[in-house]
Amino acid sequence: MRSNMNSRGLVWIVVLCTVHLNVVKSLENGLARTPPMGWLSWERFRCNTDCKNDPDNCISENLFRTMTDLVVSEGYAAVGYEFINVDDCWLEKERGFSGELVADRERFPRGMKDLSNYVHSKGLKFGIYEDYGNYTCAGYPGVLGYLEKDAQTFADWDVDYVKLDGCYSHPRDMDRGYPEFGYYLNRTGKAMIYSCSWPVYQIYAGMSPNFSSIIQHCNLWRNFDDIQDSWASVESIIDYYGNNQDNIVPNAGPGHWNDPDMLIIGNFGLSYEQCKTQMALWAIMAAPLLMSVDLRTIRPEYKAILQNRKIIAVDQDPLGYQGRRIYKHNNIEIWSRPITPIYQNYFSYAVAFVNRRTDGTPSDIAVTLRELGLSYPGGYSVEDLYEDVNYGVLTPQTKIKVKVNPSGVVILRADVQPQYEHSSRFSQPLRTPYDPYNQVFQVRQNSF
Ligand SMILES: *[C@@H]1O[C@H](CO)[C@@H](O)[C@H](O)[C@H]1NC(C)=O
Ligand SMILES: *[C@@H]1O[C@H](CO)[C@@H](O)[C@H](O)[C@H]1NC(C)=O
Ligand SMILES: *[C@@H]1O[C@H](CO)[C@@H](O)[C@H](O)[C@H]1NC(C)=O
Distances (CA, A) of 130 to 38, 386, 424: 18, 37, 61
* Ligand 2 atom nearest to 28, measured from its CA: 5
- pLDDT on residue 420: 57
- pLDDT on residue 430: 37
Q: DSSP readout, 89-133?
A: S-B-SS--TTS---B-TTTSTTHHHHHHHHHHHTT-EEEEEEESS
Q: Any idea which ligand is nearest the CA of 144?
A: 1
Which residues are CB-contacts of 73 (< 8 A; sequence separation ≥ 6)?
A: none
- pLDDT on residue 416: 96
State which residues of the chain have pLDDT below 50.
1-24, 421-448
Between the CA of 245 and the centroid of ligand 1 the distance, in Å, is 35
Q: Whose CA is nearest to atom 8 of ligand 2?
A: 29
Contact 268, 274 (CB under 8 A): no
For ligand 1, residues with CB inside 6 Å are 133-134, 144, 168-170
- pLDDT on residue 26: 85
For ligand 2, residues with CB inside 6 Å are 28-30, 186, 189-191
Q: What does the buried/exposed string (b/e) look like for 273-302 if buried means 16 or more CB atoms within 10 Å of the residue's CB?
A: ebbbbbbbbbbbbbbbbbbbbbbeebeeeb
- pLDDT on residue 419: 74
* Mutation probe of ligand 3 site: the residue of 18, 176, 183, 213 with most atoms within 8 A of C-beta: 213
SS (HEC) of 345-408: CEEEEEEEEEECCCCCCCEEEEEECHHHCCCCCCCEEEEECCCCEEEEEECCCCEEEEEECCCC
Point out the residues that are catalytic.
Answer: 165, 226
Between the CA of 173 and the centroid of ligand 1 the distance, in Å, is 11
**Model confidence pTM above 0.85:** yes
Domains and CATH numbers, the chain: 21-315 (3.20.20.70), 324-426 (2.60.40.1180)
